[in-house]
A and B are shown apart, each in its own frame.
Chain A
Amino acid sequence: MGKRSVIPFGPQHPVLPEPIHSDRVIEDETVVEAVPSVGFIHRGLEGLVEKRDFNQMTYVAERTCGICSFQHGMGYCEAVEHVFGVEIPRRAKFLRTIWAELGRMHSHLLWLGLLADGFGYENLFYQCWRVREKVLDLQEMTSGGRLIFSVNTIGGVIKDITPEQFAVISDTLNDVEKELYAVLDTFIKDYSVQSRLKGVGILTKEQVHDLGCAGPVARASGVPMDMRRLGYAAYPELDFDPITYEDGDSYSRCLVRIDEVFQSIELIRQAMGKIPDEKELATPVKGNPDGEYFMRVEQPRGEAVYYVKGNGKPNLQRMRIRTPTFANLMGLCEMLKNTKLADVGLLILTIDPCISCTER
């Protein structure tokens, strides 16, 4: 046994603009143990339910995270809709699906860019974000906000996507797909990328299960877990399979996300082809929520759990958001064991941590 020392890492991350701190015990250059600590940006969003009514909470839930904002709003709305027992119009379901998948695309492209930056490939980082900008433009065109959509409401959506906008989306997606093939090919084939990612931070299928990991981290280890299978929004009508890889290393986690970007493009195309032509966008809800429901949605980062409990008053009794990063933190601790200190920054990135939404 060599001499052990403790090195604090964070809260500043070299690449990630999110405060996560961890104390790692190292032996020579190898990490033996890592104890993460979060909590620098606890905002108390869950406590806000005492002061805001359930309609206003839609906008609060949406602002939990700046990246998967639409999916947070959707998760909250679906949960409350389940409590009310309302069925939202079919067109609203498809619109939600399209927006959710656009969100997934831009989130994964953001992550791929950060990953490239994390292992020092700055040029690739620029390219990913250049393509991502086109997706953001689509989001701004359809919803009015680049990242915060504010289109969800309890019972459906507020805004519609016009046929002209569908044409623009379709054209842009074709462009984006073509450009992504050129850019993302580098991740898949490039020698330097592989040498940084392959075999680093391996999580086995059993570990993933025991540690309760979710999303791409779990799928990269061969667990075919995809909450879209639960059939919320318009996913029951679309054709897709969860993307899984078997290796469970950083490279697999990268490949899962690359494939999911293309899967999202495919899903948006399917949804645009099947979207029904209806006028109604939202089912009006009456009264106040009374009851409880656990809603699970598949966010870009993994499974998010929304728990709402109402007692017939305008203010909910309890709203709980369990974000995917919260579930993946334990996986991260496990992943960091027996890795080189130089890989730590990169490994923290591979779970796609979003600390702001973890602490809410």
Chain B
Amino acid sequence: MAILNYAPEALKNLFRPPVTTKYPAEPAVYPERSRGHIEIAIDECISCGMCVRCCPCGTLSVDRNAGTWSIDRFDCIACGYCVEKCPKKCLHMVAGYQTPGEKKGSVTYQKSPEVMEADRKKREEAAAKAKAAAEAKAKAKTLDESKPEA
């Protein structure tokens, strides 16, 4: 049992500088790994939609044809699961929290025209290749079928 047990601590407090930072005046320091918000390097995105499927709160959406990626930052829980799952590693978790706002709304990122063009070309090529392959297959099949008859 002691009565003035806390006195030394209390006296020290008189001369200690404040523990808190004066936030808006002094900048807040975030550690390197801070899970603040998600950023996307949109031009590297292949619009695979993996992030949309894995997001636990369904805040992301991807439009492959329009080349957009959108996020409602107020719905995002910053868990980092999409960052982990992204096959191209074009999603990044960066420091700095979402600032408060008056209403919710999603932010849309648009791929640059050059990338869109390249994507379109690639897709057309792929489609052409697939078509050619399918045709070849069909041809082979008809040959196969025609063989026993002959």
Number of interface residues of A (CB under 8 A): 33
Contacts of B9 in A (CB 8 A): 127, 182-183, 186
Contact A56 B31 (CB under 8 A): no
Q: Specify which of A62, A124, A158 is in contact with B84 (CB 8 Å cutoff).
A: A158
Q: How far is the CA of A159 from the CA of B83 in the complex (A)?
A: 13
B1 on the interface (CB 8 Å rule)? Answer: yes
Contact B77 A144 (CB under 8 A): no
Contact B2 A191 (CB under 8 A): yes
Nearest-Cβ distance from residue B94 to partner chain A, whole angstroms: 10
Contacts of B5 in A (CB 8 A): 185-186, 189-191
For B20-41 the 0/1 string (1 means CB < 8 A from A) is: 0000000000111111000000
B6 on the interface (CB 8 Å rule)? Answer: yes
B10 on the interface (CB 8 Å rule)? Answer: yes
Contact A141 B54 (CB under 8 A): no
Q: How far is the CA of A145 from the CA of B10 in the complex (A)?
A: 32
Contact A140 B79 (CB under 8 A): no
Q: How far is the CA of A235 from the CA of B115 in the complex (A)?
A: 52
For A185-197 the 0/1 string (1 means CB < 8 A from B) is: 1100111001000
B93 on the interface (CB 8 Å rule)? Answer: yes
Nearest-Cβ distance from residue A317 to partner chain B, whole angstroms: 19
Q: Specify which of B30, B54, B79 is in contact with A150 (CB 8 Å cutoff).
A: B79
Contacts of A57 in B (CB 8 A): 56
- Which residues in chain B, 63-113, are within 8 Å of chain A measured between CB atoms? 77-81, 84, 93
Q: Specify which of B2, B56, B79, B93 is in contact with A190 (CB 8 Å cutoff).
A: B2
B118 on the interface (CB 8 Å rule)? Answer: no
Q: How far is the CA of A57 from the CA of B113 in the complex (A)?
A: 38
- Which residues in chain B, 110-136, are within 8 Å of chain A measured between CB atoms? none
Chain A residues within CB distance 8 Å of chain B: 52, 55-57, 59-60, 62-63, 123-124, 127, 130, 133, 137, 140-145, 148, 150, 153, 158-159, 182-183, 185-186, 189-191, 194
